A and B are shown apart, each in its own frame.
Chain A
Amino acid sequence: MAELAWGFILAAYLFVGGMAGGAYIVSALADLLGKGKFKVVSKSGAYMSLILIIVGLVLLVFDLGRFEVDPLGVLNAYLHFPTSIMSLGTWIITAFTITALVTSVLWLLDGLEWVRKIVEIFGIVLGLSTSAYTGILLSFARGVPVWGSPYLPWLFVLSGTLTGLALSLLMIPVISWFMPRLFREFRALYSNKPDMATMIGYLERYGTILTVLELAVLVIYLGTSSMASVYWTASAVSIWFFAYIVLGLLAPLGINYYNATLERSKSYETVAYLAIASQALVLFGGLLLRYVILIGGQLAA
């Protein structure tokens, strides 16, 4: 057994990169289709997608570990005609970073709505590509047979969108707690209980749809991959595999279901705190998914 070529930092990058793409998709769809209802969520998603993709790129360069030796060497990935999915991915992520930056600036200015909406249409395609790319990269790696599945990239897209949605929602209270003056709208929404309760209701409903889809694609992926049993048999990842399913998928589903049965305006505190816990679990699950797939797959190679 050779040492693992890709370790935890790369799993974190796959998680963060997928979430960046997903947060953008959520933000743009909420803006384009939400008829103004989801403005704060759109802003939250747009800012987070920019921050996340930059965090992802930093993780990536850090993981290469060559910065001291050859600080600009990483730019080699731009210089050659992209026959490799990885160089194509480099260009996609670069274009996505620029789009996320432009979108965030437009949201900060809060004007030029038509420009923003055009940018968002391109951004959705780029966000989807960024999110899918992390999975396609793995599915092309023939040395790791269990990754060779067309369902894996979709699993990552669904998880990316779900975690992007969770983070966008989670950032509303977080930003209102820590930067209430800088982002007044966040604070205004968070302190308006009926509005916030409605918002949580909407987002939890979309979260439930995404979680059910993710669970379905996960089952199909595991069912169609001949070596998938490594995920629940290899001692290094099996516990995290079950934690992902129970804590990252089933628990949020349960919380969403329970929350939907509560009278939102009356038990607002419960709804809000349960929603926060549920989003945090979703994020944890997203990271576990990347870790289990990345490490488990290499163990089975």
Chain B
Amino acid sequence: MPKAVLVDLRRCIGCRACQVACKRWNDREATSTQMNPDPKYEWTNPSDFSPDTYTYVRFVKTGSGENLHWTFAKLQCNHCIEPGCVTACPTTALVKTEAGPVSYRKELCIGCAYCVNACPFGVPRFDEVHKVIEKCTFCAERLAEGMEPACVQACPTDTLVLMELEEARQKAAEAESNGLYTYGLHEAGGTSWIYISDVPFKELGFTEQTGATPTVYQSDMLMKFFGTGLFIGGAALAAAKFYAERRNEVAAKEGGE
């Protein structure tokens, strides 16, 4: 049964234990980082993914003065149910596993970086030194041993809870019917990491996504491509015909003179 993580942002206190646990378990170097230049996110640090940063907590200020509200949003690969990166990968280096994780087999990667641009959530990052990509693994090797991902185990407030995908989707749907906001229940066809929040996700800097899976998105694009092709082809033929007729007219005129 595929696993999922339910991320309840109402519970997060921004302790960043998940960031540290991820670095340690995955042997990611500590790198020199900077505070986020955007005042809205200024306490976010590191402020983006990198080949050494699989996860980070985005510190978001909404409102101001008396109404200032903090939301802490842990970000990582969302492990889509049908992942755009897997659909894009020309060598099957990226695969969706039955247990839930989108796994990356580095030995097959040719470093084309298509996944970087194909991911709707901007997760995979290109490692310029080794010419491969890096991203969160969902600690697939820990899941296989019946353990929780490192970040989930480190979380002191149960913001992150590992459960069955079906259960996570049910809980998110319930939250949604109670007027809360969710992310990952519908986006890009649904993801294995599903968020619940009392603040709209648009205000937390999450990108808006349609519910189309990559297959639906791409076949829709192809249909439109062929449709517009008929239109452009028609216009081209009409232009060619116009030119030919005009040429004949001119030729006839000149011949008549």
Contacts and interface: CB of A to CB of B under 8 A. Distances in A.
Is the pairing of A and B real?
A: yes
Interface of A: 1-3, 5-6, 64-66, 69, 73-74, 76-77, 79-80, 82-87, 90, 132, 136-144, 147-148, 150-151, 153-154, 158, 205, 209, 212-213, 216-217, 298, 301
A82 B119 CA distance: 19
15 contacts: A5-B113, A5-B117, A6-B113, A6-B117, A64-B110, A66-B110, A84-B90, A140-B118, A142-B84, A143-B122, A150-B228, A154-B225, A154-B229, A209-B240, A216-B235
A107 B120 CA distance: 46
Contacts of B121: 143
A85 B88 contact: yes
Given A154-B228, A213-B236, A139 B221 contact: yes
Scoring B111, B126, B128, B188 by chain A CB atoms within 10 A of each residue's CB, the highest score goes to B111
B221 A141 contact: no
Judged by DSSP, the binding face of B is helix
B112 A64 contact: yes
Given A65-B131, A154-B225, 14 more contacts: A5-B117, A5-B126, A65-B111, A77-B91, A80-B92, A84-B88, A87-B90, A138-B117, A142-B118, A142-B214, A143-B117, A143-B119, A213-B235, A301-B117
Interface of B: 48-49, 84, 87-93, 108, 110-114, 116-122, 125-126, 128, 131, 188, 214, 217-218, 221-222, 224-225, 227-229, 232, 235-236, 239-240, 243
Contacts of A301: 117, 122
A298 B117 CA distance: 8
Contacts, number: 118
Q: Which of B49, B112, B113, B227 has the most CB of A within 10 A?
A: B112
Contacts of B88: 84-86, 140-141
A83 B92 CA distance: 9
A2 B51 CA distance: 11
Given A90-B90, A142-B188, A217 B232 contact: yes
A216 B239 CA distance: 13
Contact of A150 (B113, B119, B224): B224
Given A64-B110, A85-B218, A142-B188, A77 B118 contact: no
Contacts of A64: 110-112, 131
Contacts of A79: 91
B214 A136 contact: no
Nearest to A73: B110
A79 B240 CA distance: 43
Contacts of A144: 117
B222 A143 contact: no
Nearest to B117: A141
Nearest to A69: B131
Contacts of B126: 3, 5
Nearest to A153: B225
A142 B232 CA distance: 24
Contacts of A212: 239
A284 B211 CA distance: 40
B118 A209 contact: no
B103 to A, nearest CB: 15
B91 to A, nearest CB: 4
